Chains A and B, each alone.
Chain A
Amino acid sequence: EAGVTQSPTHLIKTRGQQATLRCSPISGHTSVYWYQQALGLGLQFLLWYDEGEERNRGNFPPRFSGRQFPNYSSELNVNALELEDSALYLCASSPGLYNEKLFFGSGTQLSVL
């Protein structure tokens, strides 16, 4: 069974540009979560989607947004990139509501120059 897949593995952008990160959950999972992991730091919760709807959002500015498609895959968009957005962005999935155990992908390393 395939795990959570993320693309691209690495992404290099310049300040002010937009970045789009993609995630495919484990087959059968309806919930997708996004976390930001800055170098040497823990995971900061960004967004949670379930059944196509945004269910919860972390303390990030509105330029961080996303969506979930009917096939449960998800995109994370970061507009007006800033240097401090450089981080590993991790996607995780779970079978659905009230299932707290998350399965993580390997992440997208975003570098903003």
Chain B
Amino acid sequence: GESVGLHLPTLSVQEGDNSIINCAYSNSASDYFIWYKQESGKGPQFIIDIRSNMDKRQGQRVTVLLNKTVKHLSLQIAATQPGDSAVYFCAENLQGAQKLVFGQGTRLTINP
């Protein structure tokens, strides 16, 4: 069915540490994956995306890893800052469907 799940609903990390947010997807035919950050009172903001022909992609302080064998996606945030506090969503797009299916989200809290 349509579902993109997250292993943990909440994650607390110390400022300066690295954060890893995990996501499991169910549809092996999905060919595009994307991470969004949603701060309180705002709409989701694009962080990074990756296509199924890649297994890793890096951005500024963020890295997305894709393991198609086990249908797993992760977002790594380096040197986490207070401004990283938000809910993070992964989403998948089924090839040809052009409809992003979102997971439930993980709330990232940064401890000083």
Q: Measured between C-beta atoms, what is the minimum distance from A42 to chain B in Å?
A: 4
Of A13-21, A63-71, A79-87, A99-107, the one contacting chain B is A99-107
Within 8 A of A (CB), among B77-112: 89, 91, 93, 97-105
The contact of A43 among B45, B97, B102, by CB within 8 Å, is: B102
B34 touches A56 (CB 8 A): no
A42 touches B105 (CB 8 A): yes
A4 CB-CB contact with B under 8 Å: yes
Q: How large is the interface on A (under 10, 10 to 19, 20 to 34, 35 or more residues)?
A: 20 to 34
Q: How large is the interface on B (under 10, 10 to 19, 20 to 34, 35 or more residues)?
A: 20 to 34
CA distance A68 to B9 in the complex (A): 35
CA distance A41 to B101 in the complex (A): 13
Chain A 48-64, CB-CB to B under 8 Å as 1, else 0, gives 10000001101000000
B34 touches A100 (CB 8 A): yes
Q: Which chain B residue has the least Cβ–Cβ distance from A90? A: B43
A97 CB-CB contact with B under 8 Å: yes
Q: Measured between C-beta atoms, what is the minimum distance from A43 to chain B in Å?
A: 4
B98 touches A43 (CB 8 A): no
A104 touches B43 (CB 8 A): yes
Q: Could you list 6 examples of A-B contacts with CB < 8 Å? A: A42-B89, A42-B103, A43-B100, A48-B99, A56-B98, A101-B46
